[in-house]
C-alpha cells in the first residue's frame, strides 16, 4: 500500500510539472516576437538618430560660425532652421517612444487573438478597425522615414567631401609642385549659407586645421551614426508593417462567419 501511495504522489507531481511547462509554453506562444524585435530596433534607431543628430547639428553651427560665416546675419536663417530641427527631434523621440509601446501592446493583443490563447476566438469591428488604422499609419511612417534616411545622408556626404579634401591636402604636402593653397572647399555651393557670406570657403592649411578640430571629428562621426540610426528605424518599421499586416489579414479572415480554418 505504501508503495502504491508513493507512486500516486509521483504521478501527480509529474502531471503538475507538465501542466506548468505547458502553461509556460502557452505564455511564450503569445509573445509577438516580430513586434518585440521591431520595438527594440525602433527604440535604438530613434535614440541614435535623435541623440547623435542633435549634438552633430550643434557642432555644425559652431564650425560654420568660426570658419565659414563670421557675420551672424549671414547664417541667422540657418541657425533658426537648425534650432527648429532640434525641437522636432525632441518631438520625434517622444512620439516614437509612445508609438512603439502601442504597437507592441497591439502585437500582444492580435497574437493572442490569432492563436486563441484565451479561449474561443472573438473580435469586434472596432478592434479590426483599430488594427487596420495601425497598418495604414505604419505604412505612412515607413515612407516618411525613408525620406528622413535620405535626408540624414546629406550632411554625411558634405562632411565626407570636406574630409576627403583634407586628405588630398595632406597627400600633397610631399609634392612641392602642387601647392595645397589651391585646394579649397566652398560651403556656399551647398546652399546652407548665402553667397555673400564671408569668408565662405577654406583653403590649404586653414581647411586642414578645420578637419583636425574636435567639432569636425565629432560632428562627422555623429552624423554617420545618426544616419545609421535612421536606417535601423526604417528596418524596424518594415518589420512592423509585415507583422501588423499579417495579423490584420488573419483577424479579418477569421472574423468571417464561413471561416473554419485554424492557423
Task: Give, in order, the Cα–Cα distances in Å from 128 to each of 35, 46, 52.
Answer: 18, 28, 38
Phi, psi at 262, each rounded to 5°: -110, 125
pLDDT in tens, 101-142: 988 888 777 766 555 544 455 566 676 787 788 889 999 999
Residue with cell 546652399: 191
pTM (2 decimals)? 0.79
The rounded radius of gyration (Å) of the Cα atoms in the chain is 29
Cβ neighbourhood burial of 37 (10 Å; 0-12, 13-18, 19+):
middle
pLDDT in tens, 84-111: 998 999 999 999 999 989 888 887 777 6
Closest CA to 189 of 57, 68, 76, 63: 68
Q: How far apart are CA 96 and CA 91, in angstroms?
A: 9
**pLDDT value of position 69:** 84
pLDDT in tens, 138-181: 999 999 999 999 999 999 999 999 999 888 888 776 655 556 67
For residue 236, what are the contacts with CB-CB under 8 A and spacing of at least 6?
Answer: 38, 39, 41, 42, 45
Q: Is the pLDDT at 9 greater than 50, yes or no?
A: no
Q: How far apart are CA 102 and CA 35, in angstroms?
A: 11
Amino acid at each position: 500500500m505504501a508503495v502504491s501511495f508513493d507512486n500516486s504522489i509521483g504521478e501527480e507531481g509529474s502531471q503538475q510539472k507538465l501542466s506548468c511547462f505547458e502553461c509556460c509554453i502557452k505564455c511564450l506562444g503569445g509573445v509577438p516576437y516580430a513586434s518585440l524585435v521591431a520595438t527594440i530596433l525602433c527604440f535604438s534607431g530613434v535614440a541614435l538618430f535623435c541623440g547623435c543628430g542633435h549634438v552633430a547639428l550643434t557642432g555644425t553651427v559652431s564650425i560654420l560660425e568660426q570658419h565659414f560665416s563670421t557675420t551672424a546675419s549671414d547664417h541667422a536663417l540657418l541657425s533658426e532652421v537648425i534650432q527648429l530641427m532640434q525641437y522636432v527631434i525632441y518631438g520625434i523621440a517622444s512620439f516614437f517612444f509612445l508609438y512603439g509601446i502601442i504597437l507592441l501592446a497591439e502585437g500582444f493583443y492580435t497574437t493572442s487573438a490569432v492563436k486563441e490563447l484565451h479561449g474561443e476566438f472573438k473580435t469586434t469591428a472596432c478592434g479590426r478597425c483599430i488594427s487596420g488604422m495601425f497598418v495604414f499609419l505604419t505604412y505612412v511612417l515607413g515612407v516618411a522615414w525613408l525620406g528622413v534616411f535620405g535626408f540624414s545622408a546629406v550632411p554625411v556626404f558634405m562632411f565626407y567631401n570636406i574630409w576627403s579634401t583634407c586628405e588630398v591636402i595632406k597627400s600633397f604636402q610631399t609634392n612641392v609642385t602642387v601647392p595645397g593653397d589651391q585646394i579649397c572647399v566652398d560651403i556656399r555651393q551647398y546652399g546652407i549659407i548665402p553667397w555673400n557670406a564671408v569668408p565662405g570657403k577654406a583653403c590649404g592649411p586653414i581647411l586642414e586645421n578645420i578637419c583636425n578640430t574636435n567639432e569636425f571629428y565629432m560632428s562627422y562621426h555623429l552624423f554617420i551614426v545618426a544616419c545609421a540610426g535612421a536606417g535601423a528605424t526604417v528596418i524596424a518599421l518594415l518589420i512592423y508593417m509585415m507583422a501588423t499586416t499579417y495579423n490584420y489579414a488573419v483577424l479579418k479572415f477569421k472574423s468571417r462567419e464561413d471561416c473554419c480554418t485554424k492557423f
